Amino acid sequence: TDAPATDAPGARPEAAQSARALFTERFDAVPLGTWSAPGRVNLIGEHTDYNDGFVLPFAIQHRTHVALGTRADGVIRVASTFADDAVEVPLAELNALFPDGRETVAEWARYPLGVAWALQRAAGRDPVTLVGVDLAFASDVPVGAGLSSSAAIEGATASALAAIWGIDLDRTALARVGRTAENEAVGAPTGIMDQMASMLGRADAAIFLDCRSLEAEVIDLGFADAGLELVVIDTGVSHSHATGGYGERRAACERGAEAMGASALRDVSVADLERAQELLDDVTFRRVRHVVTENQRVLDTVAALAAEGPASVGPLLVASHASMRDDFEISVPELDTAVEAALAAGAIGARMTGGGFGGAAIALVARDGVGAVTDAVTAAFTDAGFAAPTIFTVAPSAGAARD
């Protein structure tokens, strides 16, 4: 049977209303307003962020919305459709709670409370001077599918609190607040790509981010005008060794950079790879080659988009996947199957996206070929004995905003 790609799963125009409804249900009051921030897909540039390199993500139409109201007692209270109970903390205690006391906070609540903590710290504000708030979250962003629901909740929270507390930080600073929350209050050692994409996203555009300087440039994608769709194939696989694998890859990159006398692999060029091969053991060399060539592919993608338009980036996506599969060794059979089946069914390009060991693949597909790619991938998963993937299209969309 057909499994046509949908515009979601679950990107709902009424999601802001869900946050307002949750607010009223949990807090028995009417919110002052709602803010929201999107998830993201990384078009190309994988494992380049922590090597001071380049990435090219875009914000998607799936968003996390937060309804906000103020309260007179200096308490911050957070509620989510994910959790039965609200979590509350006096603002005056945030600096005692994070980072050392984070284990005492329900894990999901560390994201919004961690943002509140990081925001007042970044703004140099004494928390006792800030007005108390109630926050209620509702989201369309699938969790753990590699679409960064974490950056979405961080971006929504940072935007809402900055507005209500009169904190005048720019979008890059708010992205940093999100990363600080995720690194220190949640305890996840992530880069800043996701938060930058969620804060800076624009319709029909990607964010070309230099992870060393944090300079960001909005790059027109033109998918719609070229008649192209970006299809996400969520394999549903989340491998238990993702954390260990990530640490091993980071360590190999640091080893490789040091042996090359570079402060980061960003400073190693494709022309340097011959010397790298002489200096490094085989595994470290292949890890280095992935990062160095992937950085170059991001630059080449930006150049190709400008010169020839989006239909020209297919081979770069395919080369990115091969490099992750063969050199960085972070793919899994489900991701390889998704990419191969999509390409065989006519996709212009396809690659796994995200940290690896599971998660999602993306495919760039002509609009009238989306059905064929969806059917081919679904059939290939059935033939291989894999659980059915979730397949949907995403559109490059606007970043965090008041709704």
Q: According to CB under 5 A, which one of 18, 61, 150, 390 is a site residue for Mg ion?
A: 150
Q: According to CB under 6 A, which one of 35, 58, 137, 285 is a site residue for ligand ADP?
A: 137
Kindly tell me the burial class for residue 172, based on how many C-beta atoms sit within 10 Å of its own C-beta (0-12, 13-18, 19 or more).
middle
137 binds, among ligand ADP, Mg ion, none (CB under 5 to 8 A by kind): ligand ADP
Q: According to CB under 6 A, which one of 108, 285, 328, 392 is a site residue for ligand ADP?
A: 108
Closest contact distance (angstroms) between CB of 139 and Mg ion is 12
Of 79 and 347, nearer to ligand ADP (C-beta) is 79
Residue 212 CA from chain centroid, whole number: 18
- Which CA distances in Å does 90 have to 71, 76, 132, 168? 11, 6, 8, 23
Q: Other C-beta atoms within 10 Å of 2: how many?
A: 7
Of 116 and 276, nearer to ligand ADP (C-beta) is 116
187 touches ligand ADP (CB under 6 A): no
Closest contact distance (angstroms) between CB of 53 and ligand ADP is 21
48 touches ligand ADP (CB under 6 A): no
Q: Select from 139-147, 278-286, 320-328, 335-343 the region that touches ligand ADP (CB under 6 A).
A: 139-147
How is 23-41 classified by DSSP, letter by letter?
A: HHHHHSS--SEEEEEEEEE
85 touches ligand ADP (CB under 6 A): no
Among 52, 134, 194, 375, which one carries the catalytic annotation? 194
Of 51 and 148, nearer to Mg ion (C-beta) is 148
Q: According to CB under 6 A, which one of 57, 114, 146, 310 is a site residue for ligand ADP?
A: 146
Q: Select from 10-18, 144-152, 164-172, 288-296 the region that touches Mg ion (CB under 5 A).
A: 144-152
157 touches ligand ADP (CB under 6 A): no
State the pairing for strand pair 132-139/75-80: parallel
Q: Select from 106-114, 240-248, 340-348, 372-380 the region that touches ligand ADP (CB under 6 A).
A: 106-114
Q: Helix and strand tally (H, E) in the chain?
A: 12, 13
Q: How many residues bind ligand ADP (CB under 6 A)?
A: 16
Site for ligand ADP in 363-402 (CB under 6 A): none
- Cis status of the peptide bond prior to 99, with omega within 30 of 0: yes
Name the residue number minimizing CB distance to Mg ion: 150
247 binds, among Mg ion, ligand ADP, none (CB under 5 to 8 A by kind): none
Question: Would you say the C-alpha torsion 328, 329, 330, 331 has a positive or negative sign?
Answer: positive
Question: Of all helices (H) and strands (E), which one includes residue 95?
Answer: helix 94-97
Q: Other C-beta atoms within 10 Å of 236: how many?
A: 17
State the pairing for strand pair 57-71/205-210: unpaired
64 touches ligand ADP (CB under 6 A): yes
Residues 6+ apart with CB under 8 A from 238: 144, 357, 358, 359
80 binds, among ligand ADP, Mg ion, none (CB under 5 to 8 A by kind): ligand ADP
Cβ 303 vs Cβ 339: under 8 Å: no
State the pairing for strand pair 75-80/87-90: antiparallel
DSSP reduced 3-state for 189: coil
Does the annotation count 2 as an active-site position?
A: no
What residues line the site for Mg ion (CB under 5 A)? 148, 150
Which residues are marked as active site? 194
What residues line the site for ligand ADP (CB under 6 A)? 64, 80, 82, 107-108, 111, 137, 139, 143-144, 146-150, 153
